[in-house]
A and B are shown apart, each in its own frame.
Chain A
Amino acid sequence: MAHSAKLRLENLSMTFATPTGSFQALAPVNLDIATGKFVSLIGPSGCGKSTIFNIVAGLQIPSGGRVRIDGEDATGTIGRVGYMLQKDLLLPWRTVVDNIVLGMEIQGVPPREARDRALPYMKRYGLGGFENQYPSALSGGMRQRAALLRTLLLDNDVVLLDEPFGALDAQTKSQMQEWLLQIWADFGKTIIFVTHDVDESIYLSDEVCVMGTRPGRVIERMTVPLARPRPRSVVTHPDFIAMKQECMDLLNQQYAKPELAEAV
Chain B
Amino acid sequence: MTYTTSSSSTLPMHQSASKAQTRPKQYRRLPVSREWPTWIIALIQLGIVAAVLAYWEIGARLGWIDSFFWSQPSAIWETFKIFFSTGSAYTDIAFTFRSTLLGFFFGTLAGSALGLSFWWSRNYAAIAQPYIICFESLPKLALAPLIILVFGMGLASKVAIAMALTLVVSTLTTYSGVKAVDRDSERLFYSLGANRWQVFTKLIIPSCLPWVISVLRVNIGLALTGSIVGEFIASQHGLGRTILYAGQTYEIALVWVAVAVLSALSIVMYLSVSWIETKLRKGVMH
Q: Check if B194 is an interface residue, CB within 8 A of chain A.
A: yes
**Chain B residues within 8 Å of chain A by Cβ, number:** 19
Closest to B206 in A: A93
Q: Is the CB of A102 within 8 A of B192?
A: yes
Scan B228-261; emit 1 where CB is below 8 A from any A CB, else 0.
0000000000000000000000000000000000
In the complex where A91-B206, A93-B284 touch, is A57 in contact with B191 (Cβ < 8 A)? yes
Q: Which residues of A lie under 8 Å from residue B285 when comparing CB positions?
A: 92-93
B188 contact set on A, CB distance < 8 A: 83, 85, 89
A79 CB–B CB distance under 8 Å: yes
Is B189 in contact with A106, judged by CB distance below 8 angstroms? yes
* B187 in contact (CB, < 8 A): yes
Closest approach, in angstroms, between the C-beta of A162 and any C-beta of chain B? 11
CB-contact partner of A79 in B182, B187, B193, under 8 A? B193
Contact with B along A135-155 (1 / 0, CB 8 A): 110000000000000000010
Mark A93-115 against chain B: 1 for CB-CB distance below 8 A, else 0: 10000000011011100000000
User: Given contacts A89-B184, A91-B206, is CB(A107)–CB(B191) below 8 Å?
Assistant: no
Across the interface, do B192 and A107 meet the contact criterion of CB distance under 8 Å?
Answer: yes
- In the bound complex, do residue A89 and residue B182 qualify as a contact, i.e. CB atoms below 8 Å apart? yes
Total number of A residues with any Cβ neighbor in B under 8 Å: 23
Are A136 and B286 closer than 8 Å at their CB atoms? yes
Q: Does B74 sit within 8 A of A, measured CB to CB?
A: no
Task: Say whether B191 contacts A59, CB under 8 Å.
Answer: yes
Contact B193 A93 (CB under 8 A): no
> By the criterion CB–CB under 8 Å, are A59 and B190 in contact?
yes
Contact A134 B286 (CB under 8 A): yes
- Complex Cα–Cα for A92 and B203 (A): 11
Q: A91-B203, A91-B206 are in contact. Are A106 and B286 (CB under 8 A)?
A: no
9 pairs of A and B residues whose beta carbons are closest in the complex: A79-B193, A134-B286, A83-B191, A103-B192, A106-B194, A57-B191, A106-B192, A93-B206, A89-B188
Measuring CB to CB, which residues of chain B are less than 8 angstroms from any residue of chain A? Answer: 182, 184-185, 187-194, 198, 202-203, 206, 209, 284-286
Beyond A59-B190, A106-B194: 11 further Cβ-contacts under 8 Å? A58-B191, A79-B193, A79-B194, A80-B193, A83-B191, A91-B206, A93-B206, A93-B285, A106-B192, A134-B286, A136-B286
Q: List 5 A-B contacts (CB under 8 A).
A: A59-B190, A80-B193, A87-B184, A91-B185, A134-B286
